[in-house]
Amino acid sequence: MSYYSRDGWVLAKLSTRMYSLLFNPFTNKLFCLPKESVYHSRSRLDFSATPTSTRCVVISYARVPTTEDFLIETWRLGEDTWTTHRFENSFRGWDKCVFSNGVFYFLSTCGCLGVFDPCEATWNLLPVKPFLFPEPDSPVFIMEHEGDIFVMCSRLNSNNHIVFKLNMKHNVLEEKRDLGGLTVFASVPGSFIRACLSAEEMNRIYPSFTNLHLIFGTSSHHPPKNNLSCRVA
């Protein structure tokens, strides 16, 4: 099962075993990670940089069902075991993560934002008003672009999307009506933003979730000015 990809590398988990791996399908290079904890089957994965870089940190994160604590395990190239970090969680479920500016940003199922610093091994909640999902089962994505953090929510059975950018100075999520030509590729395992694509692909959202693949902005007509789904990346 694939969980995240970055710079040509895929981070995958072997669901039948307590192991994960980093694989580059273009070079066929493979890194097998050490055996994880007993919470492996519940955990999600992310990594900060290509595994050939000294900046690479792989994290596995999950909520401990017996205590509701938040468990983060870290691994770096050359290490034989995972390093375990355990934090009090207050019953929040953290199921989405993205790396930016040296730290991992997390989005909870109740719309809160948290930050894990792998160098300091610290966990903090950001003093940001929780993001309110328009529907309980709305697909929500967190992504980064050049150090900025974005949250996107898709309404079920609709082409409408809501996009926010984290204002780190004022600790607030600001709704964006236009992102200046960026393009979003959104999926449940991992989402990313790209710039400088073709004119036809600018200001477009290409979502893929729950086996439903939609492409917006493919019409030969210009999208209406008030149609956020066709204008925001």
CB-CB contact of 184 with 191 (8 Å): yes
Mean pLDDT by 10 residues, the chain (233 residues): 79 78 94 81 87 93 86 94 89 86 92 94 93 72 88 71 88 84 74 75 68 37 36 37
pTM: 0.81
Q: Give me the pLDDT at residue 19, please.
A: 82
| Distance, CA of 157 to CA of 206 (rounded, Å) | 15
Q: Give me the pLDDT at residue 64, please.
A: 85
Q: Give me the pLDDT at residue 215, please.
A: 39
153 φ/ψ sector (left φ>0, alpha ψ -120 to 50, else beta): beta
Q: Give me the pLDDT at residue 156, please.
A: 62
Q: Domain extents for the chain?
A: 1-126, 128-233
Q: Which positions ≥6 away from 127 have C-beta within 8 Å?
A: 171
Can you identify the CATH homologous superfamily of domain 1-126? Answer: Kelch-type beta propeller (2.120.10.80)
Q: Which positions ≥6 away from 101 have C-beta within 8 Å?
A: 147
Q: Give me the pLDDT at residue 120, please.
A: 97
Q: Give me the pLDDT at residue 157, please.
A: 62
